[in-house]
Amino acid sequence: MKFHEDLFELLPKLSLAFGPTGCEKRVLDLIKTGLDGVCDCTFDAVGNLICRLPGEKGTSYAFISGVDEVGFMITKIDDKGYLRVESTSSGDPACFLGKKMVAGGDAQLFEGVGAAKVLHTLKGNERTDAPEFERLFIDLGFEKKEELENKIEVGDFAAFKGDYFEMPHDHIVGKALECRANCAILVTLLKLASKLKKEERNDLTVIFAVKEKIGFSGAVTALHRLAPDRAVLLGFEPSCDLDEKDADRKGALLGKGPVLPLKDGRALYYDDPVFFERAKNACGSQFTQILDGSQTLSSSRAHLVLAGVPMISLRLPCHNPETPYVIVNKTDIERTLSKVWSLAVFADDDGRR
């Protein structure tokens, strides 16, 4: 399989950029700069990046990906300059200690480590229970609170520093890949679609949405304003091979994606059978259909926007979502790109407007 070079050149930059939920601007700026001269990009009132490529093939599509990574908000700075944090979404407290961290707001970023009290002082259940966030902290190497004045304050953010590297058989490991890979796919889609004439493509809007991790609020509000005919949500699906008992999610395997779920919790995608069938056909054959997506994509509220927006979701199989070392496969990324491309250009002429 041939891989789009520019997609995989952009991806490490997106992966390593600092963009925890609530502080996504740096990542969005990176995307906006990358789309200079390609299409019209603006920030909406809540910070989503909306990219427009008008088209006349018949249907208006909104392709959506979340941008934010799992992160923390700084709740306190103690006398010795240690930072106390709380997870902004569903952060795993067992994935904190020992991880390199980056902290800051809109200005300078500082590097440090995720820390907790030392192993030997853990008592009773502390040895087997995951810690509470209240017991965790970040060490930036300062010695006094005063040293942080005008540098970091309560309400600023922290996230994993992470890393990006390749592994055998086209696997890649990187921070926040579960959403940044989808962002890279959509950037590439815009670049490719911008080369077409207006008649050759549907009317496309790509929403790089903020706050995906807290209910996809960015997507919900953007859809409310844009009211497209159809929506395609790009998300992720944890690999099922770590648990033989998971019959429902059977099929989400790295290298065999993307995954097209029939429903996502309460969002029943197949309730618009015409679109769903056409979308499936447009997707060709190389994907895995599953019954129910794991509720990692907060799409149910997006589904109910306005009078309802017909939508499907394409999910990238991955290991370790929402950690500094998410594992995905390049083949799944390429296939997802070809599917969104097909949807962007196929004639959805059921007359539903």
Partner 1 sequence: MDYMKILDELRSVPTLSGFEDRGAEDVLKLLSPYFDESRRAGVNCLLFTKKCGKENAPKILIDAHLDELGLIVTDLKDDGLLTVSSLGGMDKRTLTASVFTVHAAKDLRAVSVKKPYLITKDKKLPKYGEFWLFTGLSKTELTDAGVRVGTPVSCQRSTEKLGEGQYYGAYMDDKSCAVAGLIAVDLLRDKPLECDVVLMLSSQEESFGAGFPTGAAAVCPDEILVVDVDLGSTPETDDKDTVKMGEGPSVTVSVQTDRRLTKDLLRIAREKEIPAQTALCVKSTGTNASSSPFLLGGVPTACIGLPLKYMHTTVETLYEKDLINTGKLIAAYIEYRFGGKGGAQQ
What is the SS3 assignment for 212?
A: helix
- Applying CB under 8 A, does 317 fall inside the site for partner 1? no
Q: In whole angstroms, how close is the CB of 174 to partner 1 at the nearest point? A: 11
Beta bridge partners of 196: none
Looking at the Cβ atoms of 323 and 336, the one nearer to partner 1 is 323
- Applying CB under 8 A, does 291 fall inside the site for partner 1? no
Considering only 57, 230, 315, 319, the residue that binds partner 1 (CB under 8 A) is 319
Considering only 42, 90, 108, 281, the residue that binds partner 1 (CB under 8 A) is 90
What is the SS3 assignment for 111?
A: strand
Window of 111-119, 181-189, 216-224, 264-272 that interacts with partner 1 by CB under 8 A: 111-119
Q: Which helix (H) or strand (E) holds 279?
A: helix 273-282
Q: In whole angstroms, how close is the CB of 276 to partner 1 at the nearest point? A: 25
Phi-psi label, residue 22: left if phi above 0, alpha if psi -120 to 50, beta otherwise: left
Beta bridge partners of 93: none
Q: Which helix (H) or strand (E) holds 326?
A: strand 326-329
- Which string of DSSP letters, residue by residue, matches 29-71? HHHHHHTTTTSEEEE-TTS-EEEEE---SS-EEEEEEE--B-E
- Applying CB under 8 A, does 117 fall inside the site for partner 1? yes
Considering only 29, 43, 86, 95, the residue that binds partner 1 (CB under 8 A) is 95
Beta bridge partners of 110: 103
Site for partner 1 in 234-273 (CB under 8 A): 238-239, 241-243
Considering only 131, 133, 286, 342, the residue that binds partner 1 (CB under 8 A) is 131
Give the Cβ contact number of residue 276 at 10 Å: 18
Distance CA 145, CA 16 (A): 28
Site for partner 1 in 220-239 (CB under 8 A): 238-239
Residue 321 DSSP label? T
- Applying CB under 8 A, does 68 fall inside the site for partner 1? no
- Applying CB under 8 A, does 142 fall inside the site for partner 1? yes
Considering only 45, 94, 107, 307, the residue that binds partner 1 (CB under 8 A) is 94
What is the SS3 assignment for 351?
A: coil
Considering only 54, 141, 273, 308, the residue that binds partner 1 (CB under 8 A) is 141
List interacting residues with partner 1 (CB under 8 A). Answer: 78, 80, 82, 84, 90-92, 94-98, 100, 112-121, 127-131, 135, 137, 139-143, 163, 165, 167-169, 171, 173, 238-239, 241-243, 294, 296, 319-325, 327
